[in-house]
Structure 1
Amino acid sequence: MAGSGASSPRKRSDARRNEANLLSAAAASFVDAGVDVPVRDIAARAGVGVGTIYRHFPTRADLLVAVYRHQVEACAEAGPTLLDQKTSPLAALADWIDLFIDFLVTKHGLAGAMQSDAAAFGTLHAYFLDRLVPVCAQLLGAAASAGEIVPDVDAYGFMRAIGNLCIGAESDPNYDARRMVGLMMAGLRPQ
């Protein structure tokens, strides 16, 4: 009995790690080749068989939703970690924005693929806002308190502006969304 209890958490931990690797591979595949990338390509990138993907995610919609949630959680968890690790709140905010941009480029493709199920997409959008707006507000507040940016930047409006600057980045190789966001960030600095 003690032996089975010890191996059970390990399997769950391994399964979670495998699923996270699979979701990261799927997200990278979506960025590189779009959301219609063949499942076999995702499996190859993740180093698993196609059956493993279908065992975890029976439909493409299940995979899309899981990737979306996985990326939201990664962005949400990164904010406080970056604040602890970086030398300044502005550096943490800049690194978080880079992660957020990566997510947005993937999100635009996911959003298009999920438009057929407006209710599910609406729920995911609410989840996105609930998880990420407070993190962004925390980062903006820390940078403002340190005098690195102007005070009273609304997190939702800021995230929306970044999102608007990222529209089309996944389909236009001549458009540099990061540069545009960098210019917007420069405007946050106190005069």
Structure 2
Amino acid sequence: LSTAAFYPSLGYNLLRNFIQPTKWEWYNRVDESLILGAMPFQSMANELIEKENVGGVVCCTEEFELSAAYKAMKEENWKERGVRFHHVPMTDFSGSTGRVEVVGAISFIKEIAADGQSVYVHCKAGRTRSATIATCYLMNKNKWMPNVAFEHLKSKRHQALLRNAHWRTCNEYQRFLDSSSSS
């Protein structure tokens, strides 16, 4: 499903920005160290690095998505520019990830933030897969419950959307946080 739907859904995201009166921003700053957005293209790299101080990227796409999208920023493109890269592959529309991968992504974000830089978290549209990681990051950072973290995220990126699989990931991460704080 995700392979067959890749081009139509990418086209939808691009076209929507041209025909809708209210544009979806390609990316939105969530806090001083987190940016949530859609798949970045090479034409955006300088802006993200220079204007937004991006020092790390968490990519939540499947491997084929970066190759299939013309001039999308791939791991090697980021590394050539001195930006660290962390991959958390998730299937589009229905896929999520496990606790171990979430913990790894959160550790990566905290490491980049500790260096005074921002992290760009993305999937294809910046709506669900990357929003899952961003929600978990906010839960960890602010000691928020999943619904509170997501509402804050949605106030910054209105098109964010978590489906059942993504909520399960956030709730599983909350149980992990709860068990970690009680031990």
With the shorter chain as reference, the TM-score category is under 0.3
Which protein, 1 or 2, shows the higher relative CO under an 8 Å CA cutoff with sep ≥ 6? 2
Identify, as 1 or 2, the structure richer in helix.
1
Q: Which of structures 1 and 2 has the bigger CA Rg?
A: 1
TM-score (norm 2): 0.26
